[in-house]
Structure formats: C-alpha cells, structure tokens
Amino acid sequence: MKPIRSDWTDVVLVCRKCAKKLDGGFGPGEEQTLPKALRAAISRREGGKVMKKPRRKGARVAVIEVPCLDICPKNAVIVIPAGTPGSWRSVPRGADLDALVNDLAPAREGA
Ligand code: FES
C-alpha cells in the first residue's frame, strides 16, 4: 500500500442525513447545518481556512460527512470523533459549537 500524507490532526465524522433532516439548527440564528457550523467553529479556533480535502493549507481538523449511522435521533445529529471511535455523540440542535469542537478534537500544542 502506498501511504498518502495529510495535514489533518483530527477527523470528525458527521451523519449527513441527520444534518439534512434538521434543516439548519446550528450557528448564528441556528440557520447552518452542523457540518457547516462545525467547520466555521474549527476555523475560528484554528485561525485559518477550513479544509475539505487533505494536503491543503488551513485548519487541521477535518469534518467528513458520512451516510446514516442507524441511530437516527430526533432533533440531533450523530457525530463520531475519529480519535475516540468508541464514544459517539448525539449533538442536539443549538449546541455550543466551540465547546463541541474542544470536546471532539481537543486543541494540540503546536497545531
Ligand atoms: S439519520 Fe443520522 S444516524 Fe440515521
């Protein structure tokens, strides 16, 4: 296998279907989907541009949208921090995203 280098330090998986079902629910005025609001919160914390693909410059925590995870909560979105795959989160509408980012992908020194 050929290794592919990325500049990501953390990966957060977000259920795309949960996010779509809420039709917003996060960020200013609760008008953004969780992936979009999460990327904005990560960008604020990292002080850079958010990446969608590996090897671009910018924030180093990646938000990856994935298909339904078969939990399907009401008024919440299922999120999996890739660093702790044994502890999924059900993120309710209107959650504090800065706290969520620090919970899902704690800031690293020198990152
Ligand atoms: S719709 Fe998100 S877990 Fe099923």
Distance 68 CA to ligand 1 centre (A): 4
CB 15 within 8 A of CB 68: yes
pLDDT, tens only, 59-78 = 689 999 999 999 999 999 99
pTM, full prediction: 0.86
CB 77 within 8 A of CB 34: yes
pLDDT of residue 45: 86
Residue nearest to atom 2 of ligand 1 (CA): 18
Which residues make beta-bridge pairs with 91? 77
Residue ranges per structural domain of the chain: 10-104
Distance 18 CA to ligand 1 centre (A): 5
CB 67 within 8 A of CB 16: yes
Distance in angstroms (rounded) separating the CA atoms of residues 64 and 57: 17
pLDDT, tens only, 9-63 = 899 999 999 999 999 999 989 999 999 999 999 988 887 655 555 444 556 899 9
Pocket of ligand 1 (CB under 6 A): 15, 17-18, 68-72, 78
